Amino acid sequence: MERPIAYDKLAREDRFVRMRAREVARLKLEQGLPPFPDLASREAIRERVHGILVGELQAMEGAGRSVCDFPDAPWEFTLDMARQVWDESRHVEIYLRLLEHLDGHAGEFPETTILWRCACAEDAAARVAGVNRGLEGLACDVFNQLVHIARRIGDPILERAVEFVLADEITHVRMGSKWLTRLTEGDPERRRRAIEFQETIDERFNLGGMRRTGDPEAVPVSVATDVRRQAGFTEEEIERLLRTTQRSPVY
Ligand SMILES: [Fe+2]
Ligand SMILES: [Fe+2]
């Protein structure tokens, strides 16, 4: 099938700067900065919110791509992906405004394209496993932590806005679980490959062992076990995630 949009051809206004994640990390380390914003200051929160904004943009584009890429998928799959485009476009608007609320602007930090690259997986089952369960599972962790921090610093706008988005992300992860199961029914090999793809993403984002459970104030990125349960992750998966977060580095 013809793939009209290549990895590096996402439409953006000139103000957006695209860079590979490893290049961003290298430049930051060179300047003595942490490779991932730690949420300890308003500036760090702004940078994280910018990262989320471009993630939402790519999530919208990725779900839109899934509407077009799999014409033979069940109709309900296409409908779920279309619904996700709608949700993500709303998230883009919310995060654009949150960025303004934090005195930032779009294009202030570089855009990496990790989410979009995962959204280009050829198999629909791998795509929902990697994007909806892997990356949006991570989004649940990050948003849950951001809600806690917003509450502590007394920013009800940030707190409530992110909480609304989190509710949607939980449904996106559940959607991923549903379609991973339905699309691979009777094909354990396809299921295994899709889950493997998700696990490479989970491992890539373990952030050098920085992800932990516990006090969301005290860790760089927490694993939100309660939210992940709501999103349909099994105890075994949560356990595995916690184990891998103690291992290999992110970049
Ligand atoms: Fe989203
Ligand atoms: Fe989402």
Assigned token pair, 251: 């970049």
Nearest to 225 by CA among 235, 57, 29, 49: 235
Helices 136-153, 42-69: crossing angle, 10 deg rounding: 150
Write out the DSSP string of 190-250.
HHHHHHHHHHHHHHHTSGGGTEESS-TTTSSEE--HHHHHHTT--HHHHHHHHHHTTSS--
Helix (H) or strand (E) holding 79: helix 75-101
Taken in order 233, 143, 206, 69, the sign of the CA dihedral is positive
* Rounded CA separation 16/25 (Å): 18
Strand duo 211-212 + 221-222: pairing? parallel
The pLDDT value recorded for residue 230 is 86
- Predicted local distance difference test score (pLDDT) of residue 202: 78
- Ligand closest to CA 63: 2
Ligand nearest to the backbone CA of 165: 1
CA atoms within 13 A of residue 107's CA, in its CB half-sphere: 6
pTM for this entry? 0.87
Tokens standing for 217?
A: 């104030």
**Structure-block tokens of residue 77:** 């799959």
Q: Which CATH number fits domain 21-244: 1.20.1260.10, 3.40.50.1370, 2.40.30.10, 1.10.10.10?
A: 1.20.1260.10
Residue 154 to residue 59: CA distance in whole angstroms = 29
Rounded Cα distance, 128 and 119, in Å: 8
Q: What's the gap in Å between 174 CA and the centre of ligand 1?
A: 13
Which pLDDT belongs to residue 245?
Answer: 62
User: For each successive 10 residues of the chain (251 residues), what is the average pLDDT?
Assistant: 63 90 87 80 92 95 94 96 98 98 95 87 94 93 92 96 96 95 96 93 65 54 82 86 57 24
For residue 151, report the distance from its CA to the centre of ligand 2, in Å. 22
Phi/psi of residue 111, nearest 5 degrees = -100, 125
Q: What is the pLDDT of residue 87?
A: 98
pLDDT score of 59:
95
CA of 31 to the centre of ligand 1 (A): 31
CA-nearest of 63, 195, 169 to 119 is: 63
CA 175 to ligand 2 center in whole angstroms: 10
